[in-house]
Amino acid sequence: MKNILCLVAVVGISGAAIGPAMAGVETVPTPQALWQKIQVLQKNHAIMPESSPFQAGSRTVDAFTIDLANAAAVQSISQAGGIVHVTRYENGSLLVKENFNKNRKPTGVTAMLKFDGYDRADRNWVMAAYKPDGTLISFGKIGSCIACHTMVEKQDFVFAPPPQQLLSIRTWKAFFPKQEMNPAYVSLLKEHPEAIVR
């Protein structure tokens, strides 16, 4: 989840496995239930290891980001010895990216929830994007998010925070052709060419 947890705001909701629970069968939380879990992390300022508040985002619309993680995700990172060493996140891991504009005003929230059996082909991640007030933008199996995150497939689809891992300008433009890059992120690319994900 990282330089981008899932910054692509693709409109559409996948209804797969979000219905009411059957006896003894756990189902994916509803988008509203996931938003409540996200709010708990926000309230507790649960900063993801190796991340820092208001780090450089890759887009001008999201000039700053804050990465959050729940206890299961933190444990996975800790046990592996760092984000780049995690090969599988524990079931129930929740990774969140809060996005802010240049004035540090919230612009959106994206999240990845590891849910065993949800989407085995894509490592069982439920992807979600919300407006700052919790209004749902997208939820479920979001192809554009998955396509980007497969770049770090060996890390279980989770990007390390900048400047530890960065997208090249060419790759970034392929995913965000109508957006502008954050000059601070471009500077990080120049300062840390070794961190560019290949």
Q: What is the pLDDT along the chain (198 residues), one digit of tens a residue?
A: 444 444 433 333 333 444 444 444 478 999 999 999 999 999 999 999 999 999 999 999 999 999 999 999 999 999 999 999 999 999 999 999 999 999 999 999 999 999 999 988 878 999 999 999 999 999 998 888 888 898 999 999 999 999 999 999 999 999 999 999 999 999 999 999 999 998
How many residues belong to the chain? 198
The pTM of the full predicted model, rounded to 2 decimals, is 0.85
Q: Tell me, which fold does domain 12-195 have in CATH?
A: Chalcone isomerase (3.50.70)
The structure tokens listed for 140 are 């479920």
Scanning the chain, the segments in alpha helix (DSSP H) are 31-43, 71-80, 143-149, 169-175, 183-191
